[in-house]
Structure 1
Amino acid sequence: MSELSAALAGAVGLYLVVFAVRGLVGIVRAGGEARPLTATADGGVVEVEGTVVDGQRLSSPLQQRPAAFWHVRVVRVRRSPTHPFLRREVDVDQPSAAPITIRTADGPVLVDVAAARMQSGLDVVARDQASTARELVLDGRSQQLRPQAFGSRVVSEGVLVPGDQVWVRGVLQRRGGETWLTAAPDGVVGINTAGHAGRRAGAGAISVIAGLIGLGLLGVSAAALLG
């Protein structure tokens, strides 16, 4: 193996290892600590499973779907002529303002929607070039998305209705006899829809495989360069 090939293999291996580590860290952060609420003190980070049972009757702003809760995210995918990789930047990350209640095995839990973000269950409703201006109207307020020279823009919306099964991660707080989930250390109350556990396991397997391949390539590269 030539030195150039060995160096290239090492670079790819290092990228895969970094990808795997970031993926596993993200899974751990999203996982929370699944334990009974009754065994958790105020201020503890928990992940609870439950069913959406209450919320104001809303209409989602992009698809006009009935909703107890909605979440709109706009991501700009930028390809710079001076950078080899895509860059993803969040332009809009807005939830609805009306509170929602989740029924769990330990009783009802209220979700602090000001910090709530759906981490799965978002549907892409529009995809266009970032070089074009775009207007969104959310909660009666207009938001202007500024055009960018490169890349594309992806607009997604997630909707929850009564009866939806969800996993919610946040900091446990008890207020006046009510149980709340508020923003976790990462700044959000994470909401995942049905199928979350299977997707998380699949993402973990992909991260582990990528890490093993990366370590193998690093080993081959080191042996070729030092041999």
Structure 2
Amino acid sequence: MNLIIIKYGLLIGAILASTAVVTGPLNPQKLFTDPENAQLTADSVYQFGSDVFYKELDKPGNEYMKSSVSGYSQSLIATNDMDNTFQEQWNRGVTAFESGYSDSTTAFYELLDAHDLPTAQQKVAVCRQFSLADTEFEQSLEYFAAAKASATPGSAQGFTIGMVIPRIEAIREECQNAEISCKMAVLADTSQDPAGFSANVKDTQGHIKEIQRIYPELKGLSSDFS
């Protein structure tokens, strides 16, 4: 998101709001705490700037910018409540993600020993760990989406969450693909097909390596990812 454009929107709002002191209220419900005295507050100025900014985004030709702020709060200045909500949802998202990451990598190492498991049921159970990880990744994305909805697009929090979500989505996709490869490996093993088992284990490993490649990018964005 272009910070210059956001600041430009706030500046327009501030200028128009200041003009309103002379010409009369443009939006009494949001600009003035007391319409009788036309008293402006900082919150009303910023809110008006937000309204101007998002109104401009709705005009033709601004589709790219509109998509850039999709999912964020439509208030360009965060409140304390927004910051608190962000932190709460962020913490939950990190916890759910870390659990999914641990389960996905553990599942791969268990798959390597699947050939030695005595029953088909035990072999199949190895792949369920990937399914559990997928559920945890899904939950983490829900938490992060809630955090994003409490963040302003031009803030440091907004930048971080905007970079984190796509990477977790990519990790989740790799986990889903790893689960498919895992099931194919188990099927090959139960069918007495060692070559097929090895090939699908290798595919599963490739997806896990991609997960492990992306993970440091998350740690680079926030120390909360350990």
**Shorter-chain TM-score: what band?**
under 0.3
More strand by share: 1
More helix by share: 2
Relative contact order higher in (CA < 8 Å, ≥ 6 apart) = 1
- The structure with the largest alpha-carbon Rg is 2
TM-score under structure 2 normalisation?
A: 0.27
